[in-house]
Amino acid sequence: MKGSSSILFLILLIVVFYVLILLPQRRQQKSRAEMMKKLGPGARVMTAAGLYGEIVQMQGDIALVRIADGVEVEMDQRAIVRVVEEGPALDHGEDVEESDEPLDDHVDHDGEPTDEFHDVGSEAEREFEEHRKEHGGA
């Protein structure tokens, strides 16, 4: 009886370890993989350093991210911790045409939000815009 209770305790300990440690880790890996699928030109992202930017181009594991007008940085896609807003559905093989137009259509030439700003559709875009206003983003 004493030996079987020790084995039962060991099995219970393994099950608890699995439920508390391994399941959440697997869920996190799965959600990370899904997020990586969303990476593509036009997606707004937050990096591990806390920088917000827009992906201009993906080259394998390297993302070219525009963090301000005229400022583009290359970073490993693992440095991207969150997709704030998905980009348009494009194949990674397609070339993205860049324009000289400003990224933010809701800001006039003085940097002030226009009336259209209040009609922003997605929750992610509102969050992104609020963060930019709070922290003085470009």
CATH code assigned at 119: 2.30.30
For residue 68, what pLDDT band results from cuts at 50, 70 and 90?
A: very high
Q: Would you say residue 44 lies in a domain? A: yes
Spatial CB neighbours of 82, under 8 Å, sequence gap ≥ 6: 35, 45, 46
Paired residues of 62 in beta bridges: 59, 76
Are the C-beta atoms of 66 and 52 separated by less than 8 Å? no
- What the block records as the tokens of 133 is 């206003």
Residue 14 has pLDDT above 50, yes or no: yes
pLDDT for res 35: 82
Query: Is residue 25 in a domain?
Result: no
Going by their DSSP bridges, the two strands 71-76 and 44-47 should be labelled as unpaired
69-107: pLDDT as tens digits: 999 999 998 899 888 887 775 444 444 444 444 444 444
Instruction: Quote the pTM value.
Output: 0.47
Q: How many domains does the chain have?
A: 1
Say how far apart CA 91 and CA 48 lie, in whole Å.
25
Task: Identify the band that residue 53 occupies on the pLDDT scale cut at 50, 70 and 90.
Answer: very high
- Please indicate, yes or no, if residue 18 is contained in any of the structural domains: no
Domain range enclosing 87: 39-135
